[in-house]
Amino acid sequence: MNRAAVVLTVVVLAAAAAQAARAQTPAERLARGIRAYQDLDYDSAAAALRAALAGSGRAALSDSGRVSALVYLGATEFFRDRRDSASAAFRRLLLIDPRYRPDQLVFPPEVSSLFQDVRLGTRAVAVSAPPLAQITAAGDQLVVWLYATSYHPIDVTIQRANGALVRTLYQGGAGDSLPVLWDGRAAGGAPAESGHYVLRVDSRGSDGRVVRSVAVPLEIATLRGDTLAWPPEPADSLFKPEHGAGGTGVRALITGLAAAVTVIALPSLVAGGSSGSGDRFAVVGALGVAGFLGFQNQRRPQPIPENIAANLALRLNWQRQVDSVRTENAARRANGRLVIRAGAARILETP
């Protein structure tokens, strides 16, 4: 074979190899890079892993794939005596997943030690929020867990979708893990209205600047509670009669007439002298009137105190029930029930 044929063959084989490499998916490049690392072919491993990480859009690795590629790339660069490149790979990994720790059964102690050094110098927080939470009563809260790479100051806020501040939940240091609570209320104490919100976590550097931000989208729906029906008024059959039937009044009338007859028959016992007759008949008239009034009074219905008291207690008990329902309905209309749905956390671009 002449030299021209040899050159042509080499060019064709190189082009075919390049085309085959381009045809590989990011996952296949990642697998090839891991095999090269395990075979101690660190130069090939570095090339394959960087190619796997270079994809974008649909050709990009998933987050878990990027984490795997970066930890192997960091270890590869360490064994290539490129400590700075290894540290950069580990830092990129931690910004994606602050909770990640290398498997010590896969990577030797020197690699894990470098990773630990990089972790302690990186300021990042992972945010874990439940996909669904409900606030139905006092004491209910949305619980969000934060996991930091290292101890550093953070700010946790609830914002509107347009960036307007609703409430600051936490300002201070965060270490390994930290729960942050939100009762669904704004800074002034009023329940949050239905709409789209963002839970934002800012990590700050030693100079106070924000070095990394994570946002969790929140969708809040306010469901008003059903109001209670008014208690029915007590039935008429529950009330007792408050007056008894009146008497005939005959006894009072007879008593008055008898007294009058006695006065007429025994004038000397009532009055004496020349004016006795007039006085006697005046007394007779008064006694007759008294008997008639007694007759009328006894014919009227008489009140029954114990029944009046029982009926009053029945009415007061119903009024207390009405007041209780009124208070409960006011609370239900004012508070309602908050349903909070959380989306996937995403890393925001920071200066």
DSSP 263-316: HHH-HHHH--STTHHHHHHHHHHHHHHHHHHHHHHHHSPEE-HHHHHHHHHHHH
Phi, psi for 228 (deg, rounded to 5): -85, 150
Q: List alpha helices for the chain, DSSP H.
A: 3-23, 26-38, 42-53, 63-79, 83-96, 109-120, 250-265, 267-270, 276-299, 305-335
Percent of the chain whose predicted confidence (pLDDT) is above 70: 74
Q: Is 147 helix (H, G, I), strand (E, B) or coil?
A: strand
CATH number of 3-120: 1.25.40
Q: Please compute the mean of the pLDDT values over residues 121-144 and round it to a whole number.
A: 92
Contact 322, 286 (CB under 8 A): no
Q: What is the pLDDT of residue 237?
A: 84
* Higher pLDDT, residue 257 or 27: 27
Cα separation, 342 vs 344, in Å, equals: 7
Alpha carbon distance 87, 305 (integer Å): 94
- CA 50 vs. chain centroid, Å, equals 44
Q: Are strands 152-160 and 195-204 parallel, antiparallel or unpaired?
A: antiparallel
Q: What is the C-alpha to C-alpha distance for residues 27 and 125, in angstroms, rounded to an integer?
A: 27
CATH level 3 topology of 125-223+339-348: Immunoglobulin-like (2.60.40)
pLDDT at 268 over 60: no
pLDDT in tens, 5-57: 555 565 555 555 555 545 578 999 999 999 999 999 999 999 999 999 998 88
Query: Do 86 and 338 meet the contact criterion of CB atoms below 8 Å apart?
Result: no
Q: Does the pLDDT at position 282 exceed 50? A: yes
Q: Is the fold of 3-120 the same as that of 125-223+339-348?
A: no
Question: What integer pLDDT is reported at residue 90 of this predicted model?
Answer: 97
- Give the chain's mean pLDDT: 83
Q: For the chain, how big is the Rg over CA atoms in Å? A: 48
d(CA 60, CA 52): 8
Confidence at residue 106, expressed as pLDDT on a 0 to 100 scale:
94
d(C-alpha 117, C-alpha 103), whole Å: 16
Task: Look at residue 256 in the predicted model and tell me its pLDDT.
Answer: 53
Contact (CB, 8 A) for 68 and 53: no
User: Which of 41-55, 63-77, 327-341 has the weakest average pLDDT?
Assistant: 327-341
Residue pointed to by tokens 């990394």: 212
CA distance 257 to 261: 6
Of 129 and 318, more confident? 129
Nearest to 187 by CA among 158, 163, 215: 158
Phi-psi region of 127 (alpha: psi -120 to 50; beta: other; left: phi over 0): beta
Phi, psi of 337 (to 5 degrees): -130, 130
What ranges do the domains of the chain cover?
A: 3-120, 125-223+339-348, 236-335
pLDDT per residue as tens digits for the range 169-190 = 999 999 889 999 999 999 988 8
What count of other Cβ atoms lies within 10 Å of the Cβ of residue 295? 20
In this prediction, residue 3 carries a pLDDT of 61
Q: Which tens digit of pLDDT belongs to each residue from 87-113?
A: 999 999 999 999 999 999 999 999 999
136-150, 158-172, 214-228, 324-338: range with highest mean pLDDT: 158-172
Q: What type of residue is 49?
A: L
Average pLDDT over residues 302-327: 88
